[in-house]
Structure 1
Amino acid sequence: MVGGGEGAFIGAVHRIAARLDDRYELVAGAFSSDAGTSQRSGQALGLDPQRVYADYAAMARQEAARPDGIEAVSIVTPNHLHAPVARAFLEAGIHVICDKPVTTTVEDARMLQALARKQGLLFAVTHNYSAYPMVRQAQQMVREGQLGELRVVQVEYAQDWLAEPLEQDGQKQAAWRTDPAKSGGGAIGDIGTHAWQLADTIVGRPVQALAADLASLVPGRAVDDNVQVLLRYQGGARGMLWASQVAIGHANGLRIRVIGSAGGIDWCQEQPDELLYTPLGEATRILRRGTASAGAAAARLSRIPGGHPEGYLEAFASLYSEIAAHLLARRGGGNAPSDAQFPTIDDGLRAVQFIETVQASARAGGSWITVPH
């Protein structure tokens, strides 16, 4: 792991997720650029001090030279470091698992895409919400045509943790996420990219054009904290994405509604085991994970019987396990199961292209702009 040392949030989440299904062992890390902090973090995790580094580049070189060196690296640093860290490990011949957004610029994302292909290495991006069982259920229903011809996509991600200027008080997570040099964008890059990727996973067709409004509603904030985007999908569906980190009363309100000519579905991350399904002219049905109402796509990511909630950490773990299936297949020279899916560097590039198109539209006063693919 690179990043995720003392005081970090997402590093611990990745470590729990990677271990939950017994598919990974953490053996090395560069947890901080400060040598003391990195060593203390490694000691707390029970690692060999010789495999705890203060320099990610040294870690890549030395681990690649070891007969028992790491197979993959998990990158959980602030966004601006994703590209240089990933490049170092790809060049060393090590598979990469990277937090989102994969980079802060399209140019860096293209560079990593080309390098991963040249090296023949796996590059995964941890959009964990795509691995919830009922998200896979929704994806399956759309693919099978149960909603008919798609008409409307509404996706939102509402939080309130940045409703006050926490960055001015030195709060670590707020400080780097609201620094444009480190984040590459505010709400659109931090949670808007999750909303986009959730819709992308379920809908299965690209956004062709968008018109966006970005706002910094907290006085003095240097990045956007509220985003509203109109979407036009390939095939004619219309959509809207709202991402806000100043939406008081909302903790982690990721929600998506997809409506077609024959029915509609509604999923909310805060009630993840349920998917609402309304066929045209019929009463709304509640499809539940772990029951006969859910299909094969949801069942393969369910660990425990219905009535026992599976949530954020389990979805993250499912994503890591999907990646593990591909890593093990590469180790053995075989093929991973066809239904073991995860976001790749290709998806990571498209996410950064989406972010930059949103920013370009906002700078142009909300003009419609074509999204590159």
Structure 2
Amino acid sequence: MFIGEKKIARPFRWGIVGGGRTSGVGYKHRLGAMRDNTSFVLKAAAFDLDFARCVDFGKNLNMDEERLYPDYKTMFAEEAKREDGIEAVDIATPNFQHFEVCKAALEAGLHVICEKPLFFKVEEGEEIKKLAEEKGKIVCVTYGFSGFDLLSQMRSMVLNGDIGEVTMVDLRYAHGFACDPTGDKQAEGQKWRVDPAKSGPSFVLGDLSTHTFYMSELICPQLKLKQLLCDRQSFIKSRAPLEDNAYVLMRYENGAVGRMWASAVNAGDMSSQHIRIVGTKASLEWNDMHPDELYYEVQGQPRQTLVRAMDYLNPEALEYERLGALHYTGLIESWSNLYTRFAIAMDAKNRGDEETLKNLVYPDLEHGIDGIRWVTKCVESADKGGVWVDFK
């Protein structure tokens, strides 16, 4: 059980770009990072392109007004002059800014935590990978759902062979919160997501499915995607060429198959992410509306419900368990677990501790590049009329 005691010598001084008052994700980043004040302490921010709004928001968070900045370039330059300047930065901006801010942060000698999808092009990911290696810095990706304890239990059970050889992977992230097109023009967090210049070549494939695709990589690290076929739709016609619904079929190198349904127009559904991993002996099923329960179904036996925080779980599922059994967790526990791992990764990198980095499970730059490749290949397949394309 983890109760917030420090896992590194001291917390990282941390800044954030974007994530201001109108952001849909900024509060999650701040809560995740600062739930344990042993990992990160927020020192500086460029919350908003409107500087007056940035200052007002920062003051309402009890931040030092002198460390609220009009843009990320100014923040990086001014913080570099301080003995107590920031050591890591969070990028919580719309997609089109991720690459330039990430590159500038690494050049300023900062570790980076970035929203997903990481960038628009795989080549941009490879450029950042080279730069991060040169600078000796860590780049993390906020696949925010992936810190739930029972996902670690699933990973452990898959690797232990408890379900046999994986044959099928069934993924879904499909909600209905974009059924009303008026939000495309009125909601700050929605407007940029349906603008190709800011969101990139996709809507739900980048915004939703990258989460669940990474979670499948987390649970089944032995599976390597070989090919995929994507069919995407714009049911709200004004969103074209961006999709608000997509279906993806997958083929893995070991012969396993999979499918993904991503949608923002699944009217009325509040149960967004479902993951089912089918093996030759048994299956595992989890969904984020009931994150404290994992179904384990052995062929010919009654369904078993595994509950978070119980002693019968594997050690990997208990390491970051925070609340104890009977006390329900939520999304912020997942984000907090991720940020704790991010801090451990950054600290290990600073100390040259490659053994810790090798064994630490978190969404790193390689997974971010896989997410870029996933979106790119899905769009390629769909735009070619729904054909199979090679993943690598």
Determine if the TM-score, normalized by the shorter chain, exceeds 0.5: yes
Q: After superposition, what is the alpha-carbon deviation per residue over 1:175-209, rounded to whole angstroms, capped at 9, x for unaligned?
A: 01111111111000000111211111111122110
Q: Is contact 1:266–1:276 with CA below 8 Å preserved after alignment?
A: yes
- SS, match of residue 270 in structure 1: coil
Pairing partner for 2:84 from 49, 57, 68: 68
Q: In the alignment, what sits opposite 1:15?
A: 30
Q: In the alignment, what sits opposite 1:352?
A: 372
Q: Kindly report which structure 2 residues correspond to 1:241-280, keeping only aligned pairs within 5 A, or say none.
A: 241-280=260-299
Q: Which amino acid aligns with 2:317?
A: A
Cα deviation for residue 118 of structure 1 reads 1.4
* Greater mean alpha carbon deviation, residues 96-105 or residues 166-175: 166-175
Cα deviation for residue 336 of structure 1 reads 3.7
- SS, match of residue 341 in structure 2: helix
2:271 & 2:211 partners in 1: Cα distance?
A: 12
Q: After superposition, what is the alpha-carbon deviation per residue over 1:100-158, rounded to whole angstroms, capped at 9, x for unaligned?
A: 11112222222211111111101101112221100010011111111111111000001
Q: In the alignment, what sits opposite 1:285?
A: 304
Q: In the alignment, what sits opposite 2:344?
A: 325
Pairing partner for 1:308 from 327, 342, 348: 327
Cα deviation for residue 332 of structure 1 reads 4.7
1:369 & 1:237 partners in 2: Cα distance?
A: 16
* Greater mean alpha carbon deviation, residues 141-150 or residues 103-112: 103-112
Q: In the alignment, what sits opposite 2:170?
A: 154
Q: How many residues align?
A: 372
Q: Which amino acid aligns with 1:20?
A: R
2:236 & 2:270 partners in 1: Cα distance?
A: 18
Q: Which amino acid aligns with 1:117?
A: E
Q: Is contact 1:329–1:336 with CA below 8 Å preserved after alignment?
A: yes
1:252 & 1:107 partners in 2: Cα distance?
A: 35
Q: Pairwise CA RMSD of aligned residues?
A: 1.4
Cα deviation for residue 274 of structure 1 reads 0.6
Cα deviation for residue 168 of structure 1 reads 4.3
Cα deviation for residue 340 of structure 1 reads 3.4
Q: In the alignment, what sits opposite 1:79?
A: 95
Q: Which amino acid aligns with 1:192?
A: S
2:60 & 2:112 partners in 1: Cα distance?
A: 24
Q: Which amino acid aligns with 2:384?
A: A
Moved over 4 A (4+): 331-335
Q: Is contact 1:216–1:224 with CA below 8 Å preserved after alignment?
A: yes
Cα deviation for residue 327 of structure 1 reads 2.3
- Compared with structure 1, are the counterparts of its residues 337 and 115 closer, same or farther at alpha carbon in structure 2 (3 Å cutoff)? closer
Q: Which amino acid aligns with 1:103?
A: F
1:172 & 1:291 partners in 2: Cα distance?
A: 41
Q: In the alignment, what sits opposite 2:212?
A: 195
Q: Which amino acid aligns with 2:171?
A: V
2:315 & 2:268 partners in 1: Cα distance?
A: 35
Q: Kindly report which structure 2 residues correspond to 1:1-373, keeping only aligned pairs within 5 A, or say none.
A: 1-22=16-37, 23-184=39-200, 185-204=202-221, 205-222=223-240, 223-332=242-351, 334=353, 336=356, 339-372=359-392
Q: In the alignment, what sits opposite 2:6?
A: none
Q: Is contact 1:167–1:178 with CA below 8 Å preserved after alignment?
A: no
- Compared with structure 1, are the counterparts of its residues 13 and 238 closer, same or farther at alpha carbon in structure 2 (3 Å cutoff)? same
Q: Which amino acid aligns with 1:96?
A: V
2:18 & 2:319 partners in 1: Cα distance?
A: 31
Q: Which amino acid aligns with 2:189?
A: Q
2:359 & 2:54 partners in 1: Cα distance?
A: 37
1:235 & 1:188 partners in 2: Cα distance?
A: 25
1:38 & 1:304 partners in 2: Cα distance?
A: 34
Q: In the alignment, what sits opposite 2:4?
A: none
Cα deviation for residue 64 of structure 1 reads 2.2
**Identity, % of aligned positions:** 34
Q: Which amino acid aligns with 2:339?
A: Y
TM-score, L = length of structure 2: 0.92
What runs of 5+ residues in structure 2 fail to find an aligned partner? 1-15
1:150 & 1:226 partners in 2: Cα distance?
A: 27
2:371 & 2:33 partners in 1: Cα distance?
A: 23
